[in-house]
Structure 1
């Protein structure tokens, strides 16, 4: 789950193995994003982590209707930034033998939302800081 506010942009991830083991991550970005961009940054961060861990199959769950439908091809990206995010996710998803993305109700994403809220109140002490590289 990603979110953006006047105080900054955050993402919280919960990576779950087939055996039910979980690893949680909270990140604060040192660049401003819209809420939609924060959702994509969360997805990309999760995919990069999964790739580094050697994961072969990813089933991504997001409460972002926009991101899920962009990636699934149901919605068309209507601006350059969203087009860029869609292309990057599609390219990165090819790193896995299997990749699916599914929109879940926000009510089913409460743990990630709680992690994000906790991270946003801890003033930089509990999360990794991610910087965006300019192209």
Structure 2
């Protein structure tokens, strides 16, 4: 009986594996090859249930341009998650909001490299303001945390 229970448990884990893999949120993070905070952000995403592929490139300006990221919304790195572009060190609560609400925008940005944001060292000095990436001339606030 013990062998049967072990076999059933093993079968259950084997069957659950593909289901769990399908539920992981896929992310591709484009970064400068020398940047370490981008690796810390990828680690942060992994710790929060994302499966992250990191692509080191010297063509970040081109990638940002291809995704419609204006200069005032640029962050350290560019991540693509489920057809949305995520610019910079955006907290996972905002990412989950984006993926749940599914607004008709290109993505979200936390411009610059704010201290204390996910993947960055230092203390958070003020609330983080995330902006919509939409192609409009004026940036709209998406979330503040």
Alignment TM-score > 0.5, same fold: no
> Highest Rg: 1 or 2?
2
With a CA cutoff of 8 Å and minimum separation of 6, indicate the structure with the bigger relative contact order. 1
